[in-house]
Structure formats: C-alpha cells, structure tokens
C-alpha cells in the first residue's frame, strides 16, 4: 500500500470533506491559522468515495492504518487479498505494500500515515513487538466504542482549511493509545506484524531511499554512513550484500514497469539510474534475456516475462 503520500487512494481533496456543523458560538474557531507553520495535512486523511470508484494498485510510501466509518470497501493487497472492509473495521498496511481498492457502496474512511508509532508506553510497545508474529490469515481489527467515537469525530476538524499539526498529533497519539492499550497483546502482535520488520530506523531508511540511489556509495552517503559501515549493517540485517539487494529490487521494478505501466523505455531507463539506453538494454538482456522493447512486446502479447534462472 506508497511517491510521498500522493496516492489517489488516500489523497485529501475538496470532494473528500464533509460539511461542518452549523456555526454557533461553540463551532467558530477564533484564531486564524492561515500561513501558520504548525498547520499540516496528509497525516490523518478523511476520504469518501462513491459506489464503484476504483483506485488502481499502488505502493505505500509509509505505514498506514485505514479506519472504516461507513459502507463496504474491497481491498486487495498481499496481507488482505480480496477482503471486504465494513464499518468499524481497521486494517494496517506496511511501507512498501501494494494496495488496490474498490468501493462496493458509498464509503467513508480515515487513513493514518506514520513512519513509527508514537511511543506513549515503551514497555507496552516492546511487549507488543516481541509478540508480533504472522497470523495464518490477516483479519481486520474491530474498533472499540471509544475508538469508533474518536475516528468518527475526525472528519470535522480534518475538513478545516488549515488543520493544526499540534492538534492532529494529539489525536494521533490518542488513536494509538486506544489501540495499543485496549486490545490483548496476541491480537496486537498479529495486527502489527506487517510493520514489525520496519520499526528500526535503518529499515525505514533503506525502504524509503533504495529506489532513489544509483550505487552503494551514494546510498551510504545519503544515510550518513561510511560505505564499509553501511555494507556491514545491511548484510547483518538483510542477510545479503547491499549491491545484490539493490540489483534485485531494480529487476523487480523494471519488470513491473514494463508489464504494467505505459512509461516510455527512456523514462524507465532514467528512473533506475542507467547512464544510457544501451546500458539499460544490456542489463535487461543479462537479467531477462531480451531488450526492454522486446520484453514489453512479449508481455503485451500475453507471454510471461521474468528473470533468467
């Protein structure tokens, strides 16, 4: 389920906003937050979609939790393949997940984007992550009454022109508090398992930046590491040399773009940092057995393309 929070699935727009309550004296904000550096968007987002709206599969650039307020939403991802979400249900998608949705009815939901959860109780968080394990099947979490009341109160202040980041931070902390402290640890361990491998800052750094670097030296420099230290840390955490890992990710991305996007060959070449089209073509021949144009033609004709074994 991620380009910096610009998914159409989660993006905030004017059509996503609900009407505010009648503006009596207790509904009017007396401070003008226009231009305030503490105003922020895109951490908590309210969306409503009409029946039949389809959001194509896209990759999450951060972790996110989706809270269903109303309606039925078909979600398709590795963790939740073909699951129908209903009122009061919550799902979590980790950074790097690819998510596709379809509104089966008119729907309303709130999305919370985060890199790391606010640590309100470090002992509880540690216990939760220690018990994180992959369930046989992922199932949505059901909102408690208190949590549902909080989530359904959010659309109103999210509809404000300049929502205050300090206020939203408080709401995010309250949201996390009501989840992490009012559900059994085994249930939380299963729910948060998808992000358990991304909670360390190094993991986040790798997942957020690997597609933007051309080589290991640039990757290390970006994170403030020496190349030697970066190679060692990476090998310890991932079990493979960083250069091999980056190449594998490039191969996966190139295959995805050749088969499922309309990007021009030149654009794909530039996206993955190749110096020239001839270099890109040579890489594709070594990795997939043919040139980019030939591979795309095969894919368009229904032929399966993939890595050379």
- Does residue 131 register a pLDDT over 90? no
Split at pLDDT 50, 70, 90, the class of 47 is very high
Question: Which residue reads 């530039």 in tokens?
Answer: 270
**Exposed/middle/buried for residue 246 (C-beta within 10 Å: 0-12, 13-18, 19+):** buried
Query: How far is Cα 158 from Cα 161, in angstroms, rounded to an integer?
Result: 8
- The confidence score (pLDDT) of residue 22 equals 44
Range of the domain at 258: 201-300
Q: Is the same domain home to 208 and 89?
A: no
Q: Tens of pLDDT along 232-291?
A: 878 877 889 999 999 999 999 999 999 999 999 999 999 988 889 999 999 999 999 999
Q: Is the same domain home to 138 and 69?
A: yes
Indicate the residue among 162, 180, 196 that finishes a domain.
196
- The confidence score (pLDDT) of residue 173 equals 95
Q: Is the same domain home to 244 and 167?
A: no
Rg of the chain over CA atoms, in angstroms? 22
Any domain includes 8: no
Query: How far is Cα 209 from Cα 153, in angstroms, rounded to an integer?
Result: 35
Question: Structure tokens of 224?
Answer: 């403030």
Q: Tens of pLDDT along 88-111?
A: 999 999 887 889 999 999 999 999
Q: Is the same domain home to 25 and 136?
A: yes
Any domain includes 160: yes
Split at pLDDT 50, 70, 90, the class of 117 is confident
């Amino acid at each position: 389920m991620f380009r910096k929070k610009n998914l159409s699935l989660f993006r905030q727009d004017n059509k996503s906003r609900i009407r505010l309550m009648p503006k009596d004296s207790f509904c009017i904000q007396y401070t003008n937050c226009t231009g305030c550096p503490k105003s922020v968007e895109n951490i908590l987002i309210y969306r409503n979609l009409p029946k039949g709206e389809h959001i194509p599969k896209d990759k999450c650039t951060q972790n996110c939790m989706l809270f269903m307020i109303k309606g039925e939403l078909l979600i398709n991802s590795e963790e939740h393949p073909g699951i129908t979400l209903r009122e009061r249900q919550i799902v979590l998608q980790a950074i790097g997940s690819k998510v596709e949705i379809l509104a089966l009815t008119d729907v309303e939901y709130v999305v919370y984007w985060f890199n790391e959860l606010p640590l309100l109780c470090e002992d509880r968080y540690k216990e939760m992550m220690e018990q994180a394990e992959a369930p046989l099947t992922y199932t949505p979490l059901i909102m408690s009454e208190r949590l549902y009341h909080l989530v359904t109160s959010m659309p109103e202040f999210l509809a404000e022109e300049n929502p205050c980041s300090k206020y939203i931070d408080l709401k995010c902390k309250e949201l996390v508090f009501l989840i992490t402290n009012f559900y059994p640890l085994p249930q939380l361990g299963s729910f948060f398992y998808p992000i358990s491998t991304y909670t360390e800052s190094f993991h986040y750094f790798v997942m957020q930046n690997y597609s933007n670097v051309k080589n290991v030296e640039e990757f290390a420099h970006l994170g403030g590491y020496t190349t030697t230290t970066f190679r060692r840390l990476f090998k310890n955490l991932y079990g493979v040399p960083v250069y091999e890992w980056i190449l594998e990710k490039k191969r996966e991305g190139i295959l995805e773009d050749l088969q499922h996007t309309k990007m021009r060959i030149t654009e794909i070449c530039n996206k993955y940092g190749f110096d020239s089209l001839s270099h890109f073509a040579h890489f594709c021949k070594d990795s997939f057995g043919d040139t980019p144009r030939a591979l795309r033609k095969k894919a368009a004709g229904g032929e399966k393309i993939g890595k050379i074994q």
